[in-house]
Amino acid sequence: MPTLYHHPMSSNSRFIRLVLGEYGFEYDLIDEQPWEARRDFLALNPAGTLPVYVDDSMRALCGATVISEYLDETHGALKRDRRLLAENSFQRAEIRRLVEWFLIKMEQDVTRHLARERVFKLHMPANLGGGAPDSKLMRTARGNIKQHMKYLSWLAGSRAWLAGERLSYADLAAAASISVLDYLGEIDWKDWPQAKDWYQRLKSRPSFRPILSDRVRSVTPASHYADLDF
């Protein structure tokens, strides 16, 4: 059976879990603490980053966009109207642009910093960077949330799904990032009704159920995190 190395607070890992769920894959899930730089994990991915997908032939695929493109080429093309990448080349480009926005830009502006300061540093030894959160970094990241939520709300309010008329990788990338922030209670949903309506649709999908079951030691999720009608 395929195996996915992940961390529950990694938005890139959550993205691949959602993709696998939408395509109906069965797989084993292994929690990985990337700061430990385990020798066996580095043998799979010398970069030491998540996620890493190991297929039935024990071949390792590293990185969210690499894995999603591989899954699309090998399985997505057979899904017809359930394919997560559009048939039209321009629409494919738009999907990829938005995946990059949420998994790279939003990650750099917001998600990575809040996950590291509020979660990862609690579990990291001091010699690897653990310790008290950096309040300045968290303040900056929180200040950037509004920009991304404003853009997400515009997309959700002007299109059926974020990249067009059907669910795509763009929606899953955005939902993966938003779900990390939602776990941490960092989003005031009353300010973003259009984004909230879109997110409720994503939360109600079967592929999202394992994400809503995630729990991280020492960090309790927001009270509404697993609520589909929040």
Rg (CA), the chain: 17
Domains within the chain, CATH numbers bracketed = 3-82 (3.40.30.10), 89-205 (1.20.1050.10)
Using a 10 angstrom Cβ sphere, with 0-12 exposed, 13-18 middle and 19 or more buried, the burial of residue 56 is exposed
pTM of the prediction? 0.97
Beta bridge partners of 5: 30, 52
**pLDDT digit string (tens) for 197-218?**
999 999 999 999 999 999 999 9
| 13 closest CA partner among 119, 125, 141, 93 | 119
**pLDDT digit string (tens) for 180-189?**
999 999 999 9
Question: Residues 39, 80: contact at Cβ < 8 Å?
Answer: no
